[in-house]
């Protein structure tokens, strides 16, 4: 049962949120995006290490470059390769961006280039589908309104199953995941306010999440209902290429599938 739960949790994670979920990985993508030919790992490490510093023109020590290169090889590049955003030649130690459709979208470009401090937390919070659903629900309630954990679990069940009826066993399972995983994590990152004693939850109007939404869409009046396939809603260019889904914060189809279209 525990193994099955871990597999289900992994399926709930969106690899694209994870791929662009740190400033370092976004820096890697913006660096590679502007190059016409594959870049060596060492040159990429040097540029990324330099971008990590407040003064990007300052010299970077060889030790810092080597530490960055190790991080690239063991963590960042494998993850970006799995997402379909880069091609990595391990033998030649070079890497380049793919022709993934996401790179053609100006919204994706704005996301890669943002420097807002809270974006990493927002993307990490949205990486899990259940968190995306609960945040859409809480944001629709308003940043000053609170909702009980039980009522939240019921709304999540209805969203996840597209049903008006309720299954108490399923809701109890959702309550466990909320209590032991999602609500404490989102509370610790200041995306929500969660009182474990009273069981009440409220959205905090998190600056990183609000900035992310403003990057990717024009404001809408009814957030929860309009976010069918795109965080913050779809612009006109994605009206035809996006598909309906119960995930209110999902990427456009062409962001998740490099061969779409």
Quote the CA–CA distance of 163 and 75 in Å, as a whole number.
40
Task: Name the strand (E) or helix (H) holding 118.
Answer: none
Strand pairing report for 94-97 and 39-40: antiparallel
- Could you read off the pLDDT of 134-144 as tens digits, one per residue? 999 998 887 66
Helices (H), the chain: 2-12, 15-19, 23-33, 41-52, 62-71, 77-82, 106-113, 119-126, 129-141, 149-161, 168-177, 183-188, 207-216, 223-226, 253-256
- Could you read off the pLDDT of 211-230 as tens digits, one per residue? 888 876 643 333 333 334 44
Provide the residue-wise pLDDT of the chain in tens; the chain has 261 residues.
444 444 344 444 567 888 999 999 999 999 999 899 999 999 999 999 998 765 456 688 999 999 999 999 999 999 999 999 999 999 999 999 999 988 888 888 888 988 888 899 988 888 888 998 999 999 888 766 899 999 999 999 998 887 777 889 999 999 999 999 999 999 999 999 999 999 999 999 899 998 888 876 643 333 333 334 444 333 333 333 333 345 556 555 545 544 443
Sign of CA dihedral 221, 208, 128, 169: negative
């Amino acid at each position: 049962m525990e193994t099955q739960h871990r597999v289900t949790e992994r399926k709930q994670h969106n690899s694209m949120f994870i791929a662009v979920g740190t400033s370092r990985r976004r820096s890697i993508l913006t660096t590679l995006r502007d190059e016409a030919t594959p870049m060596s790992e060492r040159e990429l490490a040097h540029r990324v290490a330099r971008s990590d510093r407040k003064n990007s023109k300052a010299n970077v020590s060889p030790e810092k470059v080597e530490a960055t290169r190790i991080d690239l090889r063991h963590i960042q590049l494998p993850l970006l390769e799995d997402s379909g955003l880069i091609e990595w030649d391990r033998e030649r130690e070079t890497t380049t961006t793919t022709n993934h459709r996401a790179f053609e979208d100006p919204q994706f470009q704005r996301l890669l280039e943002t420097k807002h401090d809270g974006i990493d937390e927002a993307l990490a919070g949205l990486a899990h589908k259940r968190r995306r659903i609960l945040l859409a629900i809480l944001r629709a309630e308003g940043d000053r309104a609170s909702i009980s954990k039980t009522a939240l679990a019921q709304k999540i069940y209805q969203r996840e199953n597209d049903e008006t009826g309720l299954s108490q066993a399923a809701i109890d399972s959702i309550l466990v995941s909320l209590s032991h995983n999602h609500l404490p994590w989102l509370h610790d990152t200041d995306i929500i306010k969660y009182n474990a004693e009273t069981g009440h939850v409220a959205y905090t109007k998190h600056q990183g999440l609000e900035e992310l939404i403003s990057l990717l869409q024009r404001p809408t009046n009814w957030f929860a209902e309009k976010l069918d396939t795109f965080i913050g809603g779809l612009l006109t260019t994605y009206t035809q290429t996006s598909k309906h889904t119960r995930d209110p914060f999902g990427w456009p189809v062409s962001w998740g599938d490099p061969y779409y279209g």
